[in-house]
Amino acid sequence: MTTSVLGKPRSIGSVSILEDRSVLVDISVSLRTFKSPPIGANLLENTEAFRLQLRTSPYKNHPNRLDRILKFCQESEVGREEMKDVNIVTWRGILKKLLRGDKIELNVSKHGGTLYLEEYDRAPNVIHRLTGDGDVRGPKFEALCSEDPNYLPFNARWYSVMIVHLGHLKILYAGEVDCVEVNQHTETDERREFVELKSRPFGKSLNGMQDWFTQSYLTKVPKIIVGFHKDNHLHSLQTFVVPETLLPSPHHGAALGFLVQLIGHEDFTEEGNVVRVKFHKDVSKRSQIVLSAREKKAIDGGEARVGILPAWFLAQALSHDE
C-alpha cells in the first residue's frame, strides 16, 4: 500500500533575491540576522517610501512564478543532481495548502516525468494600488528585528530550497525564511537557527497556529516569534517552538493521491500542455481542464514558454540530457 507519511524536509541550497529582482544562487546576501526589537517602537515610522512602492509595484499581491526555483535547479550542481529523480517542483506555499486541504487554483505542466506546479494569477496585469497600515506593520516589525530597523526591503528575499518526500514522491520546493538568529554557544561554537516572524494585534486570539507550524516545518524553521502591536506600537513578543514532526492528517494522503493521479494523467500526453486545477475545499474536491492555446498565451506574460516553463530552462535541461 502506498504510504502517505510526510517525511523530514532537508535543505539543499538557497536563493537570494535582490532589490532589483536579480537572483543569486547559494549566496545568502538577502538573509537578515535577527536582533531583538525595541518594545514600544512605532510600526508606522519611516514607512513612506515603502508605502509608495506598494502603491506602484506591478508585483504586489501576485504569486511568484517558478522561474527563481528553476534558476537554482539550473545553476546549482546539487540542484541538478537532485532533479534527476524529482517528481514535483513547486513553492512551499502551494505544498502547504495541499497538505492543509486549503482552497487554491494551480497551473500545472509536466516535462520529463516531473510535474511543475504554480499558483494561477487571475489578474496578472492589475496593479493593486490600495494600501493601509496593515500592509506596513508586518514589514516594519521584520525590519526592527534586523540589523537596520529603517531598511524595509521590498523585493529582497531569501529562500531555502528544500526536498521532502510525501509517500514515494520526491518534492523540490523553496520557501522564504525571514531571518537567522546567531547565538555564541562557546568561544568557538556558533549556533545559527532560522526564525519566522509574525505580527498580530495585541489581545487577538492566535488562530491558525497549525498553519504557521506547517509553513515553518517545511523549511526547518524551529521557532516563530510573534510581535503583538497596540495602537501601531510594538507591545510585546511571544516565542513559539515549532514541533519536530507534523500531526498526521487525512489531507496528506489526499494530497499524495492527487499528485500520483496527476502525474499519470492523460492531459499531459502532449508536451507543453497546461492543466488548470481548482481545489474547492480540499484536494478530494477539485476540477481540472486543459488550457486552450489562447489561455496559455494569456499566462505567458509575453515570454517564451513551453507550458508554464521558461524556454531558457528547457533549453538548458535538454543540453544536460545530450
pLDDT at 318 over 70: no
Residue 320's pLDDT is 55
pLDDT at 2 over 50: no
Q: Which residue has the higher pLDDT, 320 or 173?
A: 173
Closest alpha carbon to 260 in 173, 167, 164: 167
Residue 124's pLDDT is 86
> Residue 156 is which amino acid?
A
Residue 190's pLDDT is 60
How confident is the model over 96-112, as pLDDT tens digits? 999 999 999 999 999 98
Residue 294's pLDDT is 92
DSSP one-letter code for 6: B
Closest alpha carbon to 68 in 36, 113, 31, 23: 23
Residue 192's pLDDT is 85
Phi–psi pair at 117, nearest 5 degrees: -120, 125
What is the Cα–Cα distance from 125 to 236, expressed in whole angstroms? 39
- In 10 A of CB 7, how many CB atoms? 14
How confident is the model over 252-261, as pLDDT tens digits? 998 999 999 9
> Residue 189 contacts by C-beta under 8 Å, 6 or more apart in sequence?
none
Q: For 244-307, give the DSSP string.
A: SSPPP-HHHHHHHHHHHHHHT-GGGSSTT--EEEEESSSTTSEEEEEPPHHHHHHHHTTS-EET
How confident is the model over 69-104, as pLDDT tens digits? 999 999 999 999 999 999 999 999 999 999 999 999
What is the Cα–Cα distance from 234 to 206, expressed in whole angstroms? 17
- The helix-helix angle for 67-75 and 311-321 (nearest 10°) equals 20
DSSP one-letter code for 131: -
How confident is the model over 116-174, as pLDDT tens digits? 999 999 888 888 887 899 999 999 999 999 999 989 999 999 999 999 999 999 999 99
Are the beta carbons of 180 and 197 closer than 8 angstroms? no
Pairing of strands 309-310, 10-17: unpaired
Residue 280's pLDDT is 79
> Residue 270 contacts by C-beta under 8 Å, 6 or more apart in sequence?
none
Q: Look up residue 55 and give its three cell numbers.
A: 502603491
Per-residue pLDDT band at 263 (split at 50, 70, 90): very high
Strands (E), the chain: 10-17, 23-25, 32-33, 88-91, 104-111, 114-119, 157-166, 169-176, 179-184, 190-201, 223-230, 233-241, 275-279, 286-290, 305-306, 309-310
SS (H, E, C) 56-69: HCCCCCCCCCCHHH
How confident is the model over 216-251, as pLDDT tens digits? 999 999 999 999 999 999 999 999 999 999 888 888
Overall size of the chain counted in residues: 322
Average pLDDT over residues 183-188: 59
Mean pLDDT of the chain, nearest integer:
91
